[in-house]
């Protein structure tokens, strides 16, 4: 698939003597919102790290916009890809706006960010509903508030690929829905997005594609719209999941 912006080609990754990922293949096109799912230790975060260039694959390579990620400079990569970490240190003594402005690192040329950079950062904070925290010190924000600020920093980077390691962590239910709605709207405008998530219903409702990692590889790769019509893939996540019809007729994953 030549139109893929992210192309994972037979990527393997070993930790010591353990194979975490073994010849994983995955292509993501602009406009796709991919939920990366699987059990703890399935290699979800590792896969995201390899795509982001944070870890080097033991074998295989990832192409970003047609070029091998290992051959791109950190600046080239940061122009293409933004990565939302699972968490950052809690004692950070910078203002929230300064953290968002860090997303402009590769774009801003001066020692201080320009008025344009500030406008982009302010816009990103508005979209992530955190502009009201702009002057707060990051260490005083709650987990969910901090998560929205970090997401705003990723948007301020204006990436073509957004990698999110559990973006819904710390978010209350309303903010989880807001966050996934925002990500769905952004990807519809051409961004590619890979999000690690454990919430099956959230993924099936908002994502365009579900990728389930199991047994060191991609076990299932499904269109989100029809995924729940043939729900055997849920076993790869937990045997205690089952599809029930919901009140509005849409299938819904419940617990046994």
- Choose the binding region for another protein from 84-92, 124-132, 189-197, 220-228 (rule: CB under 8 A): 84-92
Tokens of 151: 């997401």
Residue placing its CB nearer to another protein in the complex, 112 or 255: 112
Scan for tokens 């982001």, then name that residue.
52
Residue placing its CB nearer to another protein in the complex, 137 or 214: 137
- Quick note: the x/- pattern for another protein over 38-67, rule CB under 8 A, is -----------x--xxx-x-----------
Rounded Cα distance between 87 and 36, Å, is: 18
Judged by CB under 8 A, does residue 91 bind another protein? Answer: yes
Nearest to 165 by CA among 44, 69, 39, 21: 44
Nearest to 149 by CA among 90, 86, 100, 184: 100
Nearest to 19 by CA among 4, 52, 41, 49: 41
Q: Contact at 8 Å (CB) between 237 and 38?
A: yes
Q: Provide, rounded to whole angstroms, the least separation between the CB of residue 175 and another protein.
A: 22
- Choose the binding region for another protein from 15-23, 30-38, 77-85, 195-203 (rule: CB under 8 A): 77-85
Rounded Cα distance between 204 and 213, Å, is: 16
Q: Provide, rounded to whole angstroms, the least separation between the CB of residue 2 and another protein.
A: 26
Which residues lie below 8 Å from residue 230, measured CB to CB, with a gap of 6+? none
Residue placing its CB nearer to another protein in the complex, 71 or 215: 71
Tell me how many residues contact another protein (CB under 8 A).
36
Query: What is each CA distance from 69 to 7, 31, 50, 57, 171, in whole angstroms?
Result: 10, 20, 9, 10, 31
Site for another protein in 124-183 (CB under 8 A): 137, 139, 157
Tokens of 203: 């993924």
Interface with another protein (CB under 8 A), residue from 40, 93, 189, 248 = 93
Judged by CB under 8 A, does residue 122 bind another protein? Answer: no
Q: Provide, rounded to whole angstroms, the least separation between the CB of residue 138 and another protein.
A: 9
**Three-class SS of 90-157:** CCCCCEHHHHHHHHHCCCCCCCCCCHHHHHHHHHHHHHCCCHHHCCCEHHHCCHHHHHHHHHHHHHHC
Residue placing its CB nearer to another protein in the complex, 105 or 170: 105
Q: Provide, rounded to whole angstroms, the least separation between the CB of residue 172 and another protein.
A: 24
Tokens of 193: 């997005």
Judged by CB under 8 A, does residue 82 bind another protein? Answer: yes
Q: Provide, rounded to whole angstroms, the least separation between the CB of residue 133 and another protein.
A: 15
Residues near another protein, by CB under 8 A: 49, 52-54, 56, 73-75, 77-79, 81-83, 85, 88-89, 91-95, 98-99, 102-103, 105-106, 108, 111-112, 115, 118, 137, 139, 157
């Amino acid at each position: 698939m030549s139109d893929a912006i992210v192309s994972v080609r037979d990527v393997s990754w070993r930790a010591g003597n353990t194979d975490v990922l073994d010849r994983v293949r995955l292509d993501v096109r602009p406009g796709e919102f991919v939920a990366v799912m699987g059990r703890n230790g399935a290699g979800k975060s590792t896969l995201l790290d390899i795509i982001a260039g944070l870890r080097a694959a033991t074998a295989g390579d990832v192409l970003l916009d047609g070029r091998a990620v290992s051959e791109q400079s950190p600046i080239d990569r940061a122009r293409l890809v933004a990565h939302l970490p699972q968490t950052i240190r809690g004692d950070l003594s910078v203002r929230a706006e300064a953290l968002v402005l860090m997303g402009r690192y590769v774009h801003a040329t001066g020692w201080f960010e320009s008025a344009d950079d500030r406008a982009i950062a302010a816009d990103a904070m508005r979209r992530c509903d955190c502009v009201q925290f702009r002057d707060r010190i990051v260490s005083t924000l709650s987990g969910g508030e901090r998560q929205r600020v970090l997401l705003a920093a990723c948007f301020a980077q204006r990436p073509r690929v957004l990698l999110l390691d559990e973006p819904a962590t710390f978010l209350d239910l309303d903010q989880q829905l807001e966050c996934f709605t925002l990500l769905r709207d952004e990807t519809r405008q051409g961004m590619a997005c890979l999000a690690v998530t454990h919430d099956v219903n959230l993924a099936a409702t908002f994502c365009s594609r579900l990728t389930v990692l199991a047994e060191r590889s991609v076990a299932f790769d499904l269109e989100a719209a029809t995924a729940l019509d043939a729900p055997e893939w849920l076993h790869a996540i937990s045997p205690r999941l089952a599809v029930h019809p919901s009140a509005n007729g849409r299938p819904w994953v419940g617990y046994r």
